[in-house]
């Protein structure tokens, strides 16, 4: 693995999941793999789980992790080719990236979309420029359109549940539903895009996406899933329900409605096959998901978040081994 | 020791002090105790000594410390049970705490009071919710009402002075005075509460608290001390004078007066038994304490602050050993 | 070496350069030198290269580095002797410095000038007070008037270029030109002062400084260089061109003009002896330097920035060895 930006960087999803679960069983089994290697974690936006789980994963591999909050400890970067930098940007990515690449063996980057200009966000300018100029492997800690460490964690958690817990009815393929949920502000499409991309690529599920009209995701990610505006229909007989808000993709970055009827409740869960409920966190309680669901045995959100460590560790390990 | 939130978590204060002084004599004597253990330091408020001394203490025990500025690198947490999270809070403590507990072996937390609602502050909602949900030992780096690492440091310093320096007149018990001092803004009662709680629990001092009228501390902490509004009377023959400002407890969080006559000066020190002067720092020079006192041999404030390392190391060590 | 604040702390520049280049050839050759030693990095201002390269250098020496953003994670410090601290400053340097000195074996500090009061800035009050009170060696990560780690890096890079690349015409001494460049806001004189100080002290170059009228640097640093307002004249036959903006020194902290004709372009480079172009970064592209120059083989700015690690490592190593 040279970079980890999307599912396209993974040759065998199931093998990567097994690698992660092996680290969960024995976190320190490769504790010398990262010796004398340095990981730079660059944040242009806030982060809790992603930041800490990646630091823990690096430590488990004996790798030194150094965090740099670009937005707070550094300054604003310029991305436009040929820019006359007489405004607010202080340093061009062309100048910053190769230097960071000279200080670190692997770089991790988090950068959110503007949600103002779809073309800019979906071009993934920041992360692609970074890869182009830094000269070392890059791991996305969530980019403008995708969140691959989250999606890998999601599939790890799904497989773990399937292995450990007897689903009510054995099926050839689990039914996995990604459902839109209300929120109070416009959120990126990253988690939803990425989950769709990974579940489609994995191919071992009956995959349904449900959302209100006009909340269609980009086809490049959703294609392959059954898409419906009828949440009840979608939930029927589901084994996993992934709850997530996203803003509109077509008329970009908007909230059209926030119909509270889309919040996942205990009542709605009765439609499912005793589904496990997933969410990437942070979650707005009683807006996206009710307390009763989050505090019930149906919720696997804490397990999901703690699995972030093993996802990051598996990816770091693949990248370190590729560079040996 | 399972948590370290107040003096009630300590079974033998003198033994803990001796443990700290043993680390001071030989900082690296347990340098493998924390191997492959991780300490999370969570800050909801600024910190210099507490932050750095705890990082140093962890390093001395071979434990990896990871700092997370919740307020700056993360987002606002919700504490209210059943909250409909459609406002400014982004994540509920019920969701964040167990995940942090899954990433770390021990968690340290700093959180200041609001000074707006006494009942809320004195319920210690944040830290008690954190302990309830995180599932790993919690160390207070100063909470809404107490600052136990500071108080342990204070007793370490008092015992060190008593062992190393001949007090002018040998006494069965040293006279320790906690005196209110002027300040420019309303401060928490934490340090004063905590010092009172620890000195009372220690029981080996003649303990006097002095402050202007209406600055009474909560009885749950001050009970056992002699309380007087006459600073001169209090200082008479004192062996240790702890200088600290706090805002009002009864009419909560106010400054009633800032009578500069309460500032500790060289003149006032003459009333004492050549007392050593203590302060938790940061100190407003020439407001709380005069330059002449701080820059004299009477001041032990630097020794106090450097002892923070050994207090933190003793506590971490107790917690690590309890978990072995 | 006891401190590293200016070139005056260095007894043999060439030996220090060779030490740095030896670390570049074998970064881990002294990887136990800093074992059980702690480096505190204190930032009162933003930093990217300086921060990260120093952390990497410490790691290469097996030394634990702890970063503290004084401005963001701590509070405002007071420097005035005898101040009555009833304003915005929360802690006096006299109180903070010795405590930091008790937590760390070596302290690194970055602090920018105000650019408001020349006398204050040029007194280097902060860093000199810090050295006075902290009791451990201090390394400047850029102070009010100088940036010695940058200048050491600059000479390392110059010597590396001279050793590895055949200059067009062999000369007894390379011609090194420091040229002022336009910028959009008033910048400190630190990098220019420091470069001038080091090149003058090194003494192995034909050294020219060029800038518009009224941009004279302080004589204490520039003395020894040829100074001209004619940029073309200065560039003629140059082997190295160091491009840097600075604000006025005489009528302190101003921008008088921003004549874009002072921007270094490919056209102007033709006047030189195929000079290598240097800049400390961050650089405002197409304001200070044109894209065509920065993206050409003439630019050594990335090499310069990556050499920051070896400069910091050589200095840390000297300081650690002096304390052994």
Q: Which of A70, A141, A123 is nearest to A99 (CA)?
A: A70
Is B40 in Cβ contact with A306 (below 8 Å)?
Answer: no
Q: Buried b / exposed e across B110-123, counting CB within 10 Å, b at 16+?
A: bbbbebeebeebbe
Q: For residue range A190-225, what is the model confidence (pLDDT) as tens digits? A: 999 999 999 999 999 999 999 999 999 999 999 999
Q: Which of C90, C135, C136 to mutate to test the interface with B (most CBs of B within 10 A)?
A: C90
Q: For residue range B93-128, what is the model confidence (pLDDT) as tens digits? A: 999 999 999 999 999 999 999 999 999 999 999 999
Q: For residue range A23-43, what is the model confidence (pLDDT) as tens digits? A: 999 999 999 999 999 999 999
Q: Which of B282, B293, B304, B310 to mutate to test the interface with C (most CBs of C within 10 A)?
A: B282
Q: Record the tokens describing residue C30, joined without a space.
A: 């002294």
Do residues C133 and C98 lie in contact, with contact meaning Cβ atoms separated by under 8 Å?
A: yes
Q: Which residue of A has its CA nearest to C280?
A: A95
Cα–Cα distance for residue pair A268/A264, rounded to 1 Å: 6
Is A95 in Cβ contact with C294 (below 8 Å)?
Answer: yes
Q: Is the CB of residue A103 less than 8 Å away from at least one CB of chain C? A: yes
Over its C-alpha atoms, chain A yields an Rg (Å, rounded) of: 20
Q: In degrees rounded to 5, what are phi and psi of residue B140? A: -75, 130
Question: Does residue B74 have a pLDDT over 60?
Answer: yes
- What is residue C5's DSSP assignment? S
- The domains of chain A are located at 7-146+306-323, 150-302
Smallest CA–CA distance, residue B261 to chain A, in Å, is 42
Q: Which of C40, C73, C86 sits opposite B284 (nearest CB)?
A: C86
Q: Which of C284, C282, C308, C248 is nearest to C121 (CA)?
A: C248
Q: Record the tokens describing residue A221, joined without a space.
A: 């990610």
**pLDDT at site A167:** 58
Is C47 in Cβ contact with A66 (below 8 Å)?
Answer: no
Residues contributing to the annotated binding site of B for carbamoyl phosphate: 47-50, 75, 110, 147-150, 280-281, 308
Q: Which residue's structure tokens are 């020496």?
A: C61
Q: Is the CB of residue A226 less than 8 Å away from at least one CB of chain B? A: no
- Chains A, C: CB contacts within 8 A come to 79
User: Topology of domain C7-146+308-323, per CATH?
Assistant: Rossmann fold (3.40.50)
Cα–Cα distance for residue pair B82/B94, rounded to 1 Å: 11
Q: Which of B50, B302, B304, B310 to mutate to test the interface with C (most CBs of C within 10 A)?
A: B302
Cα–Cα distance for residue pair C216/C104, rounded to 1 Å: 39
According to DSSP, the residues that pair with B244 across neighbouring strands are B180
Average pLDDT over residues B192-210: 98
Q: Record the tokens describing residue B306, joined without a space.
A: 């450097």
Looking at chain A, the whole-number percentage of residues with pLDDT higher than 70 is: 98
Helix, coil or strand: residue C110: strand
Is C43 in Cβ contact with A102 (below 8 Å)?
Answer: no
Asked if the domains A7-146+306-323 and A150-302 are classified in one and the same CATH topology, the answer is yes
Q: Is the CB of residue A76 less than 8 Å away from at least one CB of chain C? A: no
Chosen CATH of A150-302 out of 3.40.47.10, 3.40.50.2300, 3.40.640.10, 3.40.50.1370: 3.40.50.1370
User: Topology of domain B7-146+306-323, per CATH?
Assistant: Rossmann fold (3.40.50)
Do residues C252 and C115 lie in contact, with contact meaning Cβ atoms separated by under 8 Å?
A: yes
Q: C150-305 — its CATH code?
A: 3.40.50.1370
Question: Does residue C166 have a pLDDT over 70?
Answer: no
Cα–Cα distance for residue pair A104/B182, rounded to 1 Å: 50
**pLDDT at site A168:** 52
**pLDDT at site C171:** 76
Q: Which residue's structure tokens are 């990262």?
A: A34
Query: What is the DSSP pairing of strand A240-244 with strand A175-180?
Result: parallel
Q: Is the CB of residue B284 less than 8 Å away from at least one CB of chain C? A: yes
Q: Is the CB of residue A260 less than 8 Å away from at least one CB of chain B? A: no
Cα–Cα distance for residue pair B60/C96, rounded to 1 Å: 22
Q: For residue range C7-62, what is the model confidence (pLDDT) as tens digits? A: 999 999 999 999 999 999 999 999 999 999 999 999 998 899 999 999 999 999 99
Which residues of chain B neighbour C44 with C-beta distances below 8 Å?
none
Q: What share of chain C is helix, strand, coil (3-state, %, to 5)?
A: 40, 15, 45
Residue B166 — pLDDT band, cuts 50, 70, 90? low
H helix intervals, B141-298: 148-164, 190-202, 219-222, 231-235, 266-269, 291-294
- What is residue C292's DSSP assignment? H
Question: Does residue A166 have a pLDDT over 60?
Answer: no
Residue C164 — pLDDT band, cuts 50, 70, 90? confident
Which residues of chain B neighbour C75 with C-beta distances below 8 Å?
46, 48, 282
According to DSSP, the residues that pair with C107 across neighbouring strands are C40, C138
Average pLDDT over residues B257-280: 94
Q: Which of A281, C69, A141, A46 is nearest to B73 (CA)?
A: A46
Q: For residue range A181-194, what is the model confidence (pLDDT) as tens digits? A: 999 999 999 999 99
Q: For residue range C247-302, what is the model confidence (pLDDT) as tens digits? A: 999 999 999 878 899 999 999 999 999 999 999 999 999 999 999 999 999 999 99
Average pLDDT over residues B75-85: 91
Q: Which residue's structure tokens are 């419906």?
A: A228
Cα–Cα distance for residue pair A323/B258, rounded to 1 Å: 65
Question: Does residue B296 have a pLDDT over 80?
Answer: yes
Q: For residue range B202-251, what is the model confidence (pLDDT) as tens digits? A: 999 999 999 999 999 999 999 999 999 999 999 999 999 999 999 999 99
**pLDDT at site A260:** 92
Q: Is the CB of residue C229 less than 8 Å away from at least one CB of chain A? A: no
Is C91 in Cβ contact with B283 (below 8 Å)?
Answer: yes
Helix, coil or strand: residue A189: coil
> What are the residues whose beta carbons fall under 8 Å from the beta carbon of C280, sequence distance 6 or more?
C147, C150, C154, C191, C244, C304
According to DSSP, the residues that pair with A78 across neighbouring strands are A92
Cα–Cα distance for residue pair B79/B97, rounded to 1 Å: 11
- What is residue B264's DSSP assignment? B
Kind and range of the H or E run holding A291: helix A291-294
Helix, coil or strand: residue A227: strand
Q: Which residue of A has its CA nearest to C291?
A: A82
Q: What is the mean pLDDT of chain A?
A: 95
Do residues C250 and C222 lie in contact, with contact meaning Cβ atoms separated by under 8 Å?
A: no
Q: Record the tokens describing residue C192, joined without a space.
A: 């220019």
According to DSSP, the residues that pair with B242 across neighbouring strands are B178, B278
Residues contributing to the annotated binding site of C for carbamoyl phosphate: 47-50, 75, 110, 147-150, 280-281, 308
Cα–Cα distance for residue pair C69/B52, rounded to 1 Å: 11
Q: Is the ipTM of this complex over 0.85?
A: yes
Cα–Cα distance for residue pair B221/A234, rounded to 1 Å: 58
Smallest CA–CA distance, residue A92 to chain B, in Å, is 24
Which residues of chain B neighbour C94 with C-beta distances below 8 Å?
285, 294-295
Q: Buried b / exposed e across B199-216, counting CB within 10 Å, b at 16+?
A: bbebebbbbbbbbbeebe
**pLDDT at site C75:** 83
Q: Is the CB of residue A141 less than 8 Å away from at least one CB of chain B? A: no
Is C184 in Cβ contact with A99 (below 8 Å)?
Answer: no
Cα–Cα distance for residue pair A106/A100, rounded to 1 Å: 9
Smallest CA–CA distance, residue C291 to chain A, in Å, is 7
Helix, coil or strand: residue A171: coil
Q: Which residue's structure tokens are 């340093």?
A: A91
Contacts of A29-32 spanning 24+ positions with Cβ under 8 A:
A30/A60, A30/A61, A30/A62, A30/A317, A31/A60, A31/A61, A31/A62, A32/A62
Cα–Cα distance for residue pair A100/A120, rounded to 1 Å: 24
Q: Which of A82, A90, A99, A136 to mutate to test the interface with C (most CBs of C within 10 A)?
A: A99
> Residues, chain C, total?
324
């Amino acid at each position: 693995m040279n970079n980890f930006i999307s599912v396209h960087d993974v040759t065998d999803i199931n093998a990567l999941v097994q690698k992660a679960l092996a680290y969960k069983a024995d976190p320190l089994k490769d504790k010398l793999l990262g010796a004398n290697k340095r990981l730079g974690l660059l944040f242009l936006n806030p982060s809790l789980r992603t930041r800490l789980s990646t630091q823990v994963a690096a430590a488990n591999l004996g790798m030194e992790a150094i965090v740099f909050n670009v937005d707070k400890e550094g300054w604003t970067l310029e991305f436009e080719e040929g820019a006359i930098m007489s405004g607010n940007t202080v340093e061009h990515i062309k100048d910053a990236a190769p230097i960071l690449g000279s200080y670190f063996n692997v770089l991790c980057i988090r950068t959110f979309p503007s949600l103002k200009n779809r073309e800019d966000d979906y071009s993934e300018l920041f992360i692609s420029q970074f890869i182009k100029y830094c000269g070392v492997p890059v791991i996305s800690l969530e980019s403008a359109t995708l969140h691959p460490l989250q999606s890998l964690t999601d599939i790890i958690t799904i497989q773990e549940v399937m292995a450990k817990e007897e689903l009510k009815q054995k099926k050839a393929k689990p039914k996995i539903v990604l459902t839109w949920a209300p929120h109070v502000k416009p959120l990126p499409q990253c988690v939803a895009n990425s989950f769709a991309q990974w579940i489609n690529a994995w191919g071992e599920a009956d995959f349904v996406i449900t959302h209100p009209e006009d909340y269609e995701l980009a086809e490049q990610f959703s294609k392959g899933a059954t898409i419906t505006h009828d949440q009840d229909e979608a939930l029927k007989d589901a084994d996993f329900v992934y709850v997530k808000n996203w803003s509109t993709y077509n008329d970009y970055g908007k909230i059209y409605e926030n119909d509270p009827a889309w919040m996942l409740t205990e009542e709605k869960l009765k439609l499912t096959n005793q589904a496990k409920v997933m969410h990437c966190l942070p979650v707005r309680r009683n807006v996206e998901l009710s307390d009763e669901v989050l505090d019930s045995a149906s919720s696997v959100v804490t397990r999901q978040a703690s699995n972030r460590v093993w996802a990051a560790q598996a990816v770091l390990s693949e990248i370190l081994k590729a560079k040996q």
